[in-house]
A and B are shown apart, each in its own frame.
Chain A
Amino acid sequence: EPEVTQTPSHQVTQMGQEVILRCVPISNHLYFYWYRQILGQKVEFLVSFYNNEISEKSEIFDDQFSVERPDGSNFTLKIRSTKLEDSAMYFCASSEGGVNTEAFFGQGTRLTVV
């Protein structure tokens, strides 16, 4: 069964460092998303991406964050200068036809900023 894959599963980084989280969406999907979940909190939307550009972003997705689809299969989230409060599970998701179709999530990357 097709699935969204994310790497790494766990990333530890020092405050102020840049991190790149990687995702391979389901191959025939066209819409890609990043969500995050701080421990014990709700899953929160960060950004959606379609046709090689951001279609929507939340207040959380400030200038420290960027997304890219560097090739035909990968979708990345970059955090330029990590802060302690960026520690969370980051989930990539993809859907075939936009927000009104089912979104499938990856297993997540646990980011720990120390």
Chain B
Amino acid sequence: QKEVEQDPGPLSVPEGAIVSLNCTYSNSAFQYFMWYRQYSRKGPELLMYTYSSGNKEDGRFTAQVDKSSKYISLFIRDSQPSDSATYLCAMHTGNTPLVFGKGTRLSVIA
């Protein structure tokens, strides 16, 4: 089993839709969870950073962590064409490097 699994998509939604992006992981020692947005041939841009289980909201973005299920989600409300990008989940234990998912490619159609 891969350490971090993420459906690569592509995911295509109409403008204004709610988008749900997900990752599962196998290492129960992961405690810090991140979502990065990556535009084509650019560097990952940090969107959300959460510790342990629970929800965190920032504007149109909500990150959820369910450690019991080893499952994390990113929700995007009122999606915009400018949200079209690849979304990477990443996580670590607190004293190990980031482990990334493969990324989900999202297209928001106007």
Contacts and interface: CB of A to CB of B under 8 A. Distances in A.
Interface of A: 4, 6, 33, 35, 41-45, 48, 56, 58, 89, 91, 98-100, 102-108, 110
Nearest to A3: B43
Given A91-B44, A104-B46, A108-B41, A48 B97 contact: yes
B49 A91 contact: no
A103 B41 contact: no
7 smallest beta-carbon distances between A and B, as pairs: A45-B97, A105-B43, A43-B100, A107-B43, A105-B44, A108-B43, A100-B94
A108 B100 contact: no
Nearest to B39: A107
A67 B30 CA distance: 27
Interface string B71-110: 0000000000000000010101011111111110000000
B42 interface: yes
A48 B95 CA distance: 11
Interface of B: 32, 34, 36, 41-46, 49, 88, 90, 92, 94-103
A41 B95 contact: no
Contacts of A108: 41-43
A103 B44 CA distance: 10
Contact of B43 (A48, A58, A106): A106
A99 B96 CA distance: 7
A95 to B, nearest CB: 10
Given A41-B102, A56-B97, A99-B98, A89 B41 contact: yes
A42 B102 contact: yes
B92 A105 contact: no
B101 A42 contact: yes
